[in-house]
Amino acid sequence: MIVELEKTYRGVLCPRCGARSAAPARALQVAQETYTPQTFLVRCAQCEGEGRFSMADVRAFSGEPQKRVRRSRAKISPPR
Ligand SMILES: [Zn+2]
């Protein structure tokens, strides 16, 4: 039995900026249960570009998925 100490998640790479985004858990679950190829839309957390992905695009990343930044609410002080 393999114990995973490192956190991993399944996600996709944004075709525009190359940022990692977590794949929707529901799409992964449906694909696993039905063995049918799923396509799903993922909005990039970095550039907010939306892309359509298939299960073939899903890969395992180490770490935790990037949190989506809501620009309208986020209070980020610019570096000086
Ligand atoms: Zn992007």
From the CA of 9, how far away is ligand 1's center (Å)? 18
Instruction: Tell me which DSSP letter residue 28 carries.
Output: H
CB-count burial class (<10 Å; 0-12, 13-18, 19+) for 11: buried
From the CA of 13, how far away is ligand 1's center (Å)? 8
Q: Can you give the pTM of this predicted structure?
A: 0.70
Residues 4-63 pLDDT 10s: 578 899 999 999 999 999 999 988 898 889 988 789 999 998 999 999 999 899 999 999
Give yes or no for residue 65 having a pLDDT over 90.
Answer: no
- The predicted pLDDT at position 37 comes to 77
From the CA of 66, how far away is ligand 1's center (Å)? 11
